[in-house]
Amino acid sequence: MRTDSSPGTLPAREHLPAGDAGTPVLDVVIPVYNEEKDLQPCVLRLHDHLKRTFPYAFRITIADNASTDTTPLVASRLEAEIPEVTSFRLEQKGRGRALRTVWSASDAPILAYMDVDLSTDLNALLPLVAPLISGHSDLAIGSRLARSSRVVRGPKRELISRAYNLILRGSLQARFSDAQCGFKAIRRDVAQVLLPLVEDTGWFFDTEMLVVAERAGLRIHEVPVDWVDDPNSTVHIVKTATDDLKGVWRVGKALASGSLPLDRLTRPFGDDPRDREIEDVPKGLARQLVGFCVIGGLSTLFYLLLYSGFRVFTGSQVANALALLVSAIANTAANRRLTFGVRGSGGAVKHQAQGLVVFGIGLALTSGSLAALGAATSDPAHSTELAVLIAANLAATVLRFLLFRAWVFSDRRESTSTVVASHTPSSPAYTTAGAPQQPGGPYAPLPQRPVAQHAPHYSYDTTRFRAGEAADGTWRDATMRLQPVRPYDTDTGDSR
């Protein structure tokens, strides 16, 4: 069990405190491309809903993806007429590019987006962002596939949506239910670190962001939504599906090779009683034992099959050595990746060499057992040989686990439990994607946020930079004192 943070972890989630602040709590981005007819009704309806129901200050940002109609003029007019509305123009298309650009420049602690057609019922907006404001979750998504969701759409789009999410579950082991619903939110401190890891600039942006976040252990909150299909949607289904499948292959390959630095997205542990340190129990022992036993059982079966095959044309000792050598290499590789979480090719040769030393010990145990059996009887039955080998392999397996944990992969466990960052309560410094790289890797580590002993109020500032530009230094925490600006209300004007 992990009880401390690794050098690249995010700070602990905290509830955004209520207080005076000029910065909006929520920034809702609406990416648009040639939406001159739908843009104004969408913004007016969203603004009216937020003004009556959302208890904090907010902002609506129109992200124009290189529209060729009068969409920019409509966006400019709305910006001039409504104080809470801003617009931004991109000269390149791509929903992912628009979200990355606007979210990277926003100073709001909670970032969200929704499609311009407002297919999702706006009554789900507050439940979407509430877990992020409270500090409970890192990301939140609307789900059209949850059991309590109410969805109206044609069978073709329903089939495509469900098939796509089944592909994600089967290929990328995704556990979230709906990747492409245009209704999502993220905490700004998470976005600052997560967005540089997301490569896609189009429709696959959502899926890649969620898969990377989930694999890193971030908490994703799902909100069942009421959703009505837009029959005039301009999404090209075939091209989008093709691009998504290419993205699934690219992300799956990156995860398999270990090229994504997921460690810098992990959260510190300790709030959950299950994560508290227990004396005399090494960290991660239970999980590693389960993984090692599963791999050990499969390796033993593989070893016995090899032994039986080699035994047909050679003696018992040679067959045992060959079968043990092949299965040991496979066993070391599997335990390296699955049991002890070592990714990438770094140190693989060293680990295999150490695994061969462990293999030699196992060879001595099994060969000695066969020699003892041969001394006891001149012609042992094949079933007797297998029984002796199983007993010897059980003893070798216990010894192998201890050696793997204490010697072969001990450097991995030590490196993930060392805190190298220092900080003070008054000015916790974080590093954005544009900051200078650290010697330890391509991404600079983030320190753990200091824990207040008596809940004092800290004042945090935010480094401002324009869209499309990288931050020119470190930025301070985005958590700020927030003041409710209007009472709670219900959206009586929403007919859905």
* Distance (Å, whole) CA 87 – CA 289: 54
Mean pLDDT value across residues 204-230? 90
Q: Which of 49-53, 286-290, 359-363 has the highest mean pLDDT?
A: 49-53
In this predicted model, what pLDDT tens digit does every residue of 84-128 receive, in sequence order?
A: 999 999 988 888 999 999 999 999 999 999 999 888 899 999 999
Per the CB < 8 A criterion, the answer to whether 288 and 295 are in contact is no
Q: pLDDT band for 21, please (50, 70, 90 cuts).
A: low
* Distance (Å, whole) CA 151 – CA 119: 10
Residues 6+ apart with CB under 8 A from 371: 317
* Distance (Å, whole) CA 141 – CA 218: 13
Rg (CA), the chain: 28
Mean pLDDT (the chain) is 75
Distances (CA, A) of 220 to 60, 185, 187, 421, 444: 23, 10, 11, 27, 24
* Distance (Å, whole) CA 45 – CA 42: 5
Read off the pTM: 0.56
**Helix pair angle (95-105, 205-215), 10° resolution:** 60
Mean pLDDT value across residues 130-136? 92
Query: Which pLDDT score, from 0 to 100, does residue 17 have?
Result: 64
In this predicted model, what pLDDT tens digit does every residue of 337-384 receive, in sequence order?
A: 888 878 777 788 888 888 888 878 877 887 888 788 878 887 778 788
Query: Which pLDDT score, from 0 to 100, does residue 407 have?
Result: 81
Q: pLDDT band for 460, please (50, 70, 90 cuts).
A: very low
* Distance (Å, whole) CA 391 – CA 193: 50
Query: Which pLDDT score, from 0 to 100, does residue 477 have?
Result: 41
The answer on pLDDT for 307 being more than 60 is: yes
The answer on pLDDT for 256 being more than 90 is: no
